[in-house]
Structure 1
Amino acid sequence: MSPRMSAADRRELAVRAAMAEFAHGGYDGTSTWTIARRVGVSQPYMFRLFPSKHALFLAAAERCFDDLEDVLRDAAGGLRGGDAMAAMAEACARLPQDAPTLPRLQLKIYAIAVRDEDVRRLGAVRWARLWRVISALSGEPPEEITRFLATGLLINVQAAFGAPTGPDLPHATAEWAKNLRSAEPDHPQAPGR
């Protein structure tokens, strides 16, 4: 690492490294030592940049939402209505391949929000802002924004399970679920199945 690099630049590197590490190992499975090593700084220096692992996770979560908003803005590119929604949906469907850290880290953020008030608060604020960004970019009604966000969450979950995330999501998922059923272990089925 260059000795001329500013603290702000090192902080940025630390946030990016934290995003990748937390996306892979989650909050509990990621150490600040691992992130510091990835950045090329000592762990004590990492704690000068961020006072705690928790603060670093919050910064990574914040950046994750920033990056997602950037993806949506770039995809919408001045389009409106259904065209904007379609372009943003296509960009989101490509995230598991193009920028896998984002959907993986989103899932980790949601999981930690269940038990951590700070992450829950940050997530609520950023989720509301994400809603407003999508609304402003598309001009679509709440029903369409809800459908869009629900599909985005489905894509994240499916990517985590190795399920299809491509353009024909409903049909690809139906085929995947049908084919995967044959690999299920034998368990008693619930009544009516």
Structure 2
Amino acid sequence: MSPRMSLGARRELAVRAAMAEFAYGGYDGTSTWTIAERVGVSQPYLFRLFPTKHALFLAAAERCFDEIEDVLRRAAGGRHGEDAVAAMAEAYGRLPLDDPDLLRMQLKVHAVAVRDEEFGRLGHIRWARLWRVVGDLSGADPAEIARFLAAGLLVNVAAAFDVPHGTGQDLARSTADWAERLRGVETLADHPGERGR
């Protein structure tokens, strides 16, 4: 790593590395040593950038929410109403292919928020902000915003369990088709093969 790199640039690298590592290992399963190695710094230097693993995960969680909002803003791109909602739904539905770590990180944040008060507060604030972003971008009413966010959570679950799914308007139909194909499969013993298909 260049010695001329600014502290801000090093922190940025650390947050990106943390997102990638936490997305797979979660909070408990990821070591700060692994993150430091990915960044190309020593573990003590990483702790100069972020004083604790908790602080680093918090920064990565904030960035995760920021990036999701950015995806939605870019997708809306000046559209409004149903067109904006459809464009945002399409973009979010592509995240498992376009940026799978982002969805994995979001799931890890949800998991930690269940047991950690500070992450619970972060989720409380950022989900309210996400609701407002969707509403501001689209002008949608509360029921439509709720449907949009519920579909987003369905995409997260589908990605986590490798469920094949469409995007936008095709999400419900493709998920229903997949569930129907698995009719009669009630336990892992009934379906020991490949996930998803």
Paired AA for residue 86 in structure 2: A
By how many angstroms is 1:184 displaced?
A: 3.7
Indicate the residue corresponding to 1:149 in structure 2: 149
Paired AA for residue 172 in structure 1: S
Indicate the residue corresponding to 1:55 in structure 2: 55
Indicate the residue corresponding to 2:93 in structure 1: 93
Higher mean Cα deviation, 170-179 or 15-24?
170-179
Structure 2 Cα separation of the partners of residues 46 and 153 of structure 1: 33
Structure 2 Cα separation of the partners of residues 180 and 38 of structure 1: 40
By how many angstroms is 1:164 displaced?
A: 2.0
1:36 counterpart = 2:28: no
Indicate the residue corresponding to 1:126 in structure 2: 126
By how many angstroms is 1:181 displaced?
A: 3.4
By how many angstroms is 1:136 displaced?
A: 0.5
Deviations 1:106-140 (CA, angstroms, capped at 9, x unpaired): 11111110000010001111111111111100001
Structure 1: stretches of 5+ with no match in the other structure: 188-193
1:177 counterpart = 2:183: no
Structure 1 Cα separation of the partners of residues 174 and 52 of structure 2: 43
By how many angstroms is 1:175 displaced?
A: 1.7
Paired AA for residue 111 in structure 1: A
Secondary structure of 1:163's counterpart equals: coil
Paired AA for residue 171 in structure 2: L
Structure 1 Cα separation of the partners of residues 33 and 74 of structure 2: 34
By how many angstroms is 1:183 displaced?
A: 4.3
Paired AA for residue 180 in structure 1: L
Structure 1 Cα separation of the partners of residues 26 and 18 of structure 2: 10
Structure 2: stretches of 5+ with no match in the other structure: 191-197
Paired AA for residue 100 in structure 2: P
Indicate the residue corresponding to 1:10 in structure 2: 10
Secondary structure of 2:94's counterpart equals: helix
Indicate the residue corresponding to 1:159 in structure 2: 159
User: RMSD over aligned Cα, in angstroms?
Assistant: 1.2
Secondary structure of 1:127's counterpart equals: helix
Indicate the residue corresponding to 1:190 in structure 2: none
Structure 2 Cα separation of the partners of residues 65 and 170 of structure 1: 24
Structure 2 Cα separation of the partners of residues 55 and 14 of structure 1: 12
